[in-house]
Chain A
């Protein structure tokens, strides 16, 4: 058994039992971050804070929400919005955060793509990040079901129908997922369970993996420079902070990180108080009606690009294209054949590929929102083909890339 001495202070008492000094050293004061980074490196912290906002607002919503097809709509739109003091605040924080979290996820992803932060030992950071994207998507979708409005119902209908797998007619699988022939009580209850328990648990687990995957390869930097973290840390600890290329995670880096978070929060609460409507589709303020499809069904903005890849094709081809779009980002570290982990601006054709992909996804997003009429149908069709084409081209152009 370990030897314990009479504690000299509360700190010492805790330190003997929990090793809090060691924890602090490992997690904060001797966890090294490169100096050569910019504000885009703060997106991880912005995401962590947004997740915390979702969790806290969700806890308050959970106290009044009723997962029943007869009462769900009113429990949200009447009880929470009109009766509960500050109920509107939790709902608008939750709705706006659910939307904004995807904006920040996309910025975080494209930052990683631009700076090549998925290569040279950082593959697992990318893959666990993509797992987070998928679990967040499932979390967003299941949460969207809960107010049981028209968009909830019909999005639930359309998305669960995807599991009939087109020509395979797996209707039994669809009915199994729903627990009914159409989305009804069993469906609402199980998506409620997924939204408030199983998926948040999975998300927290994968966040742990994401952070863990970051520890050994460390954070990338603006030049993709391979740093000798031990040597740089030694310089820092010896007092030569000026010439060391790294700083401590806390308090050095955290102070800047939290400054960016502060700016983000001002923008975030501006949306919550004055522009929450962008995250609240008017169609979803009609209660669910299984006998009336809304004139135009579209998902939330963050799913539009993949929806638009599904839409212009016939069912089976569309499903295959959609499936391709869902998994292909996972393979990025392996489809990029170039060993260069430098910013896209120094990688020739890849620089063009990066901007073409970003613009193509913006085009897909805007085409997904408009009704399926010409010329939008054709623009969407060619943008979807471009998306697939860019991924096919990626291994070729990166193989041709010269060593930077």
Chain B
């Protein structure tokens, strides 16, 4: 009888402690989540008519650098089908719009306008002017941020039909 009572008390405590432990872990996990103010850190609108050909401009969206490169006629002529699918077309002009973080470990690659290519200094990865990988270790081309074309403007953070199509066809993650 005495042991039965002690056993019951042990199990009851175990149940209370178990519920408490799971609840605290949940609270701890949630406390580490990005804050709502961080999550809603807005959208970035770019005026696409301001860019010059083969001149890389680095914009900022959610704290991340965004590469915008207006392509020259030569570049467009050089592109194959896979390259073309990555183009962002605004008012008939071709742009590369990518998150400027190496897909390997997130350094910012540098642009060489003469070689029309990007080099990541951290681990030596290279990309061409379309953002495709030309030298490992990056596992995939530069990611394309969610965008929506609005006349002359590009809104980053909103998913337009062109972006959704890219995502469906696996051109970007």
The one of B62, B103, B107, B110 in contact with A181, judged by C-beta atoms closer than 8 angstroms, is B62
- Which A positions have Cβ atoms within 8 angstroms of B? 154, 157-158, 161-162, 166-167, 169, 175-182, 184, 186, 190, 290-297, 311, 313-316, 318, 371-373, 377
Give CA–CA (A197, B32) in the complex, Å.
16
Known interface pairs A182-B63, A291-B65; A318-B34 also in contact (CB < 8 Å): no
Known interface pairs A291-B58, A314-B137, A371-B121; A180-B107 also in contact (CB < 8 Å): no
Q: Is the Cβ of A157 less than 8 Å from the Cβ of B139?
A: no
The one of A154, A166, A179 in contact with B139, judged by C-beta atoms closer than 8 angstroms, is A166
Give CA–CA (A164, B152) in the complex, Å.
35
How would residues 113 to 141 of chain B score, 1 for a CB under 8 Å from any chain A CB and 0 otherwise?
00000000111100000000000111100
Q: Is the Cβ of B63 less than 8 Å from the Cβ of A158?
A: no
Determine the chain B residues whose CB is within 8 A of the CB of A315 once the complex forms: 103-104, 137-139
Taking CB as reference atom, which chain A residue is nearest B30? A176
Give CA–CA (A318, B125) in the complex, Å.
13
Nearest CB of chain B from residue A37's CB, rounded to whole Å: 43
Give CA–CA (A318, B136) in the complex, Å.
11
The one of A186, A292, A294 in contact with B38, judged by C-beta atoms closer than 8 angstroms, is A186
A161-B105, A178-B34, A179-B34 known; 13 other A-B pairs, CB under 8 Å? A158-B105, A158-B106, A166-B139, A169-B173, A181-B63, A181-B64, A186-B38, A190-B32, A290-B60, A291-B58, A293-B121, A294-B121, A316-B139
Taking CB as reference atom, which chain A residue is nearest B62? A181
Determine the chain A residues whose CB is within 8 A of the CB of B106 once the complex forms: 157-158, 161
List 26 contacting pairs A-B, 8 Å CB cutoff, sorted by A: A158-B107, A158-B122, A161-B106, A167-B139, A169-B173, A176-B29, A176-B34, A179-B38, A181-B41, A182-B62, A184-B38, A186-B38, A190-B32, A290-B63, A291-B58, A291-B60, A293-B110, A293-B121, A293-B122, A294-B121, A296-B122, A315-B104, A315-B137, A318-B137, A371-B121, A377-B124
Determine the chain B residues whose CB is within 8 A of the CB of A318 once the complex forms: 137
- Which B positions have Cβ atoms within 8 angstroms of A? 29, 32-35, 38, 41, 58, 60, 62-65, 103-110, 121-124, 136-139, 173
Give CA–CA (A175, B173) in the complex, Å.
16
Taking CB as reference atom, which chain B residue is nearest A159? B105
Give CA–CA (A292, B34) in the complex, Å.
23
Determine the chain A residues whose CB is within 8 A of the CB of B139 once the complex forms: 166-167, 314-316
Nearest CB of chain A from residue B59's CB, rounded to whole Å: 9
Give CA–CA (A314, B106) in the complex, Å.
14
Give CA–CA (A292, B41) in the complex, Å.
21
Give CA–CA (A62, B35) in the complex, Å.
26
Give CA–CA (A87, B30) in the complex, Å.
38
Taking CB as reference atom, which chain B residue is nearest A167? B139
Give CA–CA (A184, B38) in the complex, Å.
10
Nearest CB of chain B from residue A238's CB, rounded to whole Å: 50
Determine the chain A residues whose CB is within 8 A of the CB of B109 once the complex forms: 293
Determine the chain A residues whose CB is within 8 A of the CB of B35 once the complex forms: 179, 186
Determine the chain B residues whose CB is within 8 A of the CB of A169 once the complex forms: 173
